[in-house]
Amino acid sequence: MVNAQPPELPQDYVELRRRLCELGRACRVLAHTGSTNDDLRAWAREGAPAGAVVVADAQSRGRGRHERAWSTPEGETIALSVLLRPPLSPQDLPKVALSAGLAARAAIDAALGGRGRPRIKWPNDVFVDGRKIAGVLVEGALSSARVEHAVVGIGVNVARTVFPPDLAGSATSIALEGGDTDRVRLVLGLLDALDVEVRALLAEPSALGARLRPWDMLLGRAVSLDDGRRGVASGIAEDGRLIVEVEGVTVLAHAGEVRVLPS
């Protein structure tokens, strides 16, 4: 019979659990899991409160948008999911993802301490110098009129220095950019920044486009739309859609309808 020991929590996450969970926040810090988003969705259905957090050192089934795999090797990334119960309607969910992107960008900026300039690649990625450093996956439980809850999943490449061949060249990490790889500081910074961004979204939803504009990586980039038309990205609308100028006409495009053309 195999006597499998459960994986041990790494030292930094023992410290994170102490800092995060012992001060009253509903929180689970795990060594290994399938997906922190799946864990938190299950916990939300059992009644987890707003603000509940699941963090894992490693995930075996980490997911990105379009069910793409998100790789989470031990000790090298942050895999974090946060539960929101915002007074929003289902069509507002893209705004939550963009707000989470702003929060991830701010926390990564602080970790980089001025080395590199993290920017948001609409709709849900954070890039540094053309390479992806973080991604956001927001999954909502919706009724027809409102968001019952939203699970905000954030993955950040922290200490990774080697990527598989399909990601090498298009991915980077805080370590590769010469930043501070302290995961405790980064998770706490991310949660604070998310709090700031969600409050800003709820207080002044129409300001979202303006908050994103300084960090909008697609601004001025050539894009093509699903129907074959080509245009230039010129900002993010307050409802979270991409603004595209197509031959003098302004078009608002949803995620999934736009392809960024090589510059």
Instruction: Map the footprint of ligand BTN across residues 125-144, applying CB under 6 A.
Output: 125, 135-137
3-state secondary structure 43-90: HHHCCCCCCCEEEEEEECCCECHHHCECCECCCCEEEEEEEECCCCCH
Shortest distance, CB of residue 2 to ligand BTN, whole angstroms?
Answer: 27
User: Site residues for ligand BTN, window 197-226 (CB under 6 A)?
Assistant: none
C-alpha to C-alpha distance for 254 and 204, rounded to whole angstroms: 21
Peptide bond into 123 cis (omega under 30): yes
Residue 20, exposed/middle/buried by CB under 10 A (0-12, 13-18, 19+)? buried
The residue from 48, 62, 106, 242 that contacts ligand BTN (CB under 6 A) is 62
Residue 125 C-beta: closest distance to ligand BTN, Å? 6
Q: Of the candidates 17, 19, 32, 65, which one interacts with ligand BTN according to CB under 6 A? A: 65
Smallest separation, CB 222 to ligand BTN (Å): 23
- Residue 36 sits in the site that holds ligand BTN (CB under 6 A): yes
Q: How far apart are CA 205 and CA 24, in angstroms?
A: 29
Q: Please, what is the minimum distance in Å from the beta carbon of residue 158 to ligand BTN?
A: 12
Question: In the complex, which residues of this chain contact ligand BTN (CB under 6 A)?
Answer: 35-37, 59, 62-65, 68, 70, 79-81, 124-125, 135-137, 153-155
